[in-house]
A and B are shown apart, each in its own frame.
Chain A
């Protein structure tokens, strides 16, 4: 199963077990632009899987109304870049309704799925990573999976989580990431990072697509190609990098990251969104406060540039393996 099939499988599982669950968004009844809702309308009926007008703010508000009635609302915003018209509903309504109603209402049954991150040629409005904009929206959760198994488990976890969740799916992984996904119903925990590769010399923290660039970077560091060999110090060959997938961006798993950095003394954060106001800044700030005396080098961020994502040369915009290698060498030799 690839990511889009895993996402579809998660929604089918949720709908089969929960009669109130409905899926709606732009073009979802036709299968959606990334095929994530393929065949759901045929399987569960057009009353439960339906197209909306091009109405992002309306979709979000509509989902909030349904969820407040106790319905499981699975909304799709066709691209994360289009989530900004819905920003008001998500930040001002969904995030705050439990608090401002004294817990008499909540929209925990609302999940907003949206494809995110670069796809190679998306340009300004199809390649952004807006997760950082939601960091201040206490009451929301933001989740980004890295693979099909993760996507299914985290999406089911998000749909059933008692809080509204924005589930961002890295769109380049829809087809490129393939795994043996259990067909059973299973959930993965929200708010928990996962240590993918244990190590003791440097913590490499990331989420979504860059997980794979980071993995490549680790191989380059320990076993460089002949043409790169001269650029990578000999001492780097044996270092043990700890690779962590953050998975939940809000709330982020402070405990796991602090524990890791206390062991390694070094932290490199990689994300596709720009550096200024990005999630990395928040994590770096908290880590330098909590691990100050254990740090051997400043926390380093490898991110997209602080410019709009241009149509051309997207490869150079996003943090690739070489930039990650460079940041790791600098941090390790600080």
Chain B
């Protein structure tokens, strides 16, 4: 299975004929493993849920450029593994809820889901410090929750409701927490911003770093290279994180593209490998003060690029299905937990149910209250009336005395016809 996964990367890098004519190149393009279930338990499992034990990662979990690879020996506890499982399951449930709400036409506009990439978002959170900063592109929902937000806040934002973390004004790509500088709609624009945030951390002498994330698509943006250069020039604690879920560039070895910035390619489907790589990066930039590092997570997105992309024009349904059934990060972790005797199938089903219940509750809460009437005028300069768009946005006016409607310049007739679309302020 591991070898199959490795060929996948090479195969997508260039047309088959080209590959066949240059076997040496094909070999050099081999990537890391993208298996989710090849980590081995070392020694005996402790009784306590909080006592660390050792795991051994697959030897092809990492590839490095200008630096050593992270250790394959991982110290972890039962509790941490169970938390990872629950969080990945919750994140997937949230994205699935967003998918359903979008298809029900309750979420409009752009929406990019990260189903299949849970090992990266959750794995990152287990490797970093709460005060580290994260900034990413438009595929941002899980990070917003894991960095201190709520599922209700994310879904409310997608729905354009007041419960949203940006009061429903930002939408899918624009969600922030104090340590998460948001999703960003402009491809690649967040990367130099992340370098600036890292500079501020260094300037203040904080023992923290900034993870500036982008996708393989954004990796060709000029400003990504501008940010690489500044970060290396000034030795900033910036971890550039490329989530490679597609891989179409002249050089698909994204971890090598930082020029003099060392890089590590990581199996982004195994959450234990992902966490290990993030810990390594933190140590590199913060404890060792070695400057920037590039992390490439080789991962896989089950859905299309966005809701309007079926995701099957540039890859086959069979490929997606194979990844789902053989290399799913959640199923992989599930298998570890069961095989190593950390949890039973029933235990995990219970966690699944809890995740579903948590998301379902958040969906209902998020649906409440639209908030269209704020953030338009500077406080104290609001006009006496504002117009709405839809019939249900005018109910208070329809019940208002006719005199006050006349004062607003509304004729009774047009109100009765229901399309006058005027709303009194303070309503």
Name A residues whose Cβ lies closer than 8 Å to a Cβ of B. Answer: 20, 22, 47, 50, 52-53, 55, 57-58, 60-71, 73, 88-89, 92-93, 97, 99-105
| Contacting residues, chain A, for B178 (C-beta < 8 A) | 104
Name B residues whose Cβ lies closer than 8 Å to a Cβ of A. Answer: 133, 135, 164-167, 169-171, 174, 176-178, 181-182, 184-186, 189, 191-201, 203, 210, 222-223, 226-227, 229-230, 233-234, 375
Does B166 contact A53, Cβ atoms closer than 8 Å? Answer: no
| Contacting residues, chain A, for B177 (C-beta < 8 A) | 104
Most chain B CB neighbours (cut-off 10 Å) among A55, A60, A70, A100: A100
Does B164 contact A102, Cβ atoms closer than 8 Å? Answer: yes
27 pairs across A/B with beta carbons < 8 Å? A53-B229, A53-B233, A55-B226, A57-B222, A58-B223, A58-B227, A58-B229, A60-B192, A61-B191, A64-B196, A65-B181, A65-B199, A65-B210, A66-B199, A68-B181, A89-B223, A93-B186, A93-B189, A99-B375, A100-B170, A101-B182, A102-B165, A102-B166, A103-B167, A104-B166, A104-B178, A105-B181
Does B193 contact A62, Cβ atoms closer than 8 Å? Answer: yes
| Contacting residues, chain B, for A53 (C-beta < 8 A) | 226, 229-230, 233
Does B200 contact A62, Cβ atoms closer than 8 Å? Answer: no
CB-nearest residue of chain A to B191: A61
Minimum distance in angstroms from B348 CB to a CB of chain A:
35
Does B227 contact A71, Cβ atoms closer than 8 Å? Answer: no
| Complex: A79 Cα to B223 Cα, angstroms | 19
| Complex: A92 Cα to B223 Cα, angstroms | 14
CB-nearest residue of chain A to B228: A58
| Contacting residues, chain B, for A63 (C-beta < 8 A) | 196
Does B165 contact A65, Cβ atoms closer than 8 Å? Answer: no
Does B174 contact A101, Cβ atoms closer than 8 Å? Answer: yes
Minimum distance in angstroms from A158 CB to a CB of chain B:
18
Given contacts A100-B166, A101-B170, contact A61 B203 (CB under 8 A): no
| Complex: A70 Cα to B181 Cα, angstroms | 12
Minimum distance in angstroms from A226 CB to a CB of chain B:
53
| Contacting residues, chain B, for A97 (C-beta < 8 A) | 182
| Contacting residues, chain B, for A47 (C-beta < 8 A) | 203
Does A71 contact B375, Cβ atoms closer than 8 Å? Answer: no
Does B203 contact A71, Cβ atoms closer than 8 Å? Answer: yes
Most chain A CB neighbours (cut-off 10 Å) among B174, B192, B199: B192
Given contacts A104-B176, A105-B176, contact A66 B197 (CB under 8 A): yes
Minimum distance in angstroms from B181 CB to a CB of chain A:
6
| Complex: A58 Cα to B226 Cα, angstroms | 6
How many cross-chain pairs have Cβ atoms below 8 Å apart between A and B? 120
| Complex: A66 Cα to B399 Cα, angstroms | 50
CB-nearest residue of chain B to A93: B189
Does A57 contact B200, Cβ atoms closer than 8 Å? Answer: no
Does A100 contact B169, Cβ atoms closer than 8 Å? Answer: yes
Minimum distance in angstroms from B168 CB to a CB of chain A:
8
Minimum distance in angstroms from B141 CB to a CB of chain A:
15
Does B170 contact A102, Cβ atoms closer than 8 Å? Answer: yes
Minimum distance in angstroms from A13 CB to a CB of chain B:
20
| Complex: A302 Cα to B198 Cα, angstroms | 46
| Complex: A99 Cα to B234 Cα, angstroms | 31
Does B176 contact A101, Cβ atoms closer than 8 Å? Answer: yes
Given contacts A93-B184, A100-B170, contact A62 B196 (CB under 8 A): yes
| Contacting residues, chain B, for A50 (C-beta < 8 A) | 234
| Complex: A105 Cα to B200 Cα, angstroms | 15
| Contacting residues, chain A, for B195 (C-beta < 8 A) | 58, 61-62, 65
Q: What are the 9 closest A-B residue pairs judged by CB atoms, nearest first?
A: A65-B196, A61-B192, A58-B226, A102-B166, A69-B200, A100-B174, A65-B193, A62-B196, A100-B170
Given contacts A65-B199, A105-B182, contact A58 B230 (CB under 8 A): yes
CB-nearest residue of chain B to A67: B196
| Complex: A294 Cα to B375 Cα, angstroms | 34
Does A65 contact B182, Cβ atoms closer than 8 Å? Answer: no
Does A61 contact B174, Cβ atoms closer than 8 Å? Answer: no
Residue in B166, B192, B229 whose beta carbon sits within 8 Å of that of A65 in the complex: B192
| Complex: A96 Cα to B149 Cα, angstroms | 21
| Complex: A100 Cα to B182 Cα, angstroms | 9
| Complex: A67 Cα to B167 Cα, angstroms | 22
Given contacts A58-B223, A88-B189, A99-B375, contact A52 B182 (CB under 8 A): no
Q: 19 additional contacts, CB 8 Å, given A55-B226, A66-B196, A103-B167?
A: A20-B203, A50-B234, A53-B226, A57-B222, A57-B223, A62-B230, A65-B181, A66-B199, A67-B196, A69-B197, A92-B186, A100-B169, A101-B166, A102-B166, A102-B167, A102-B176, A104-B165, A104-B176, A104-B177
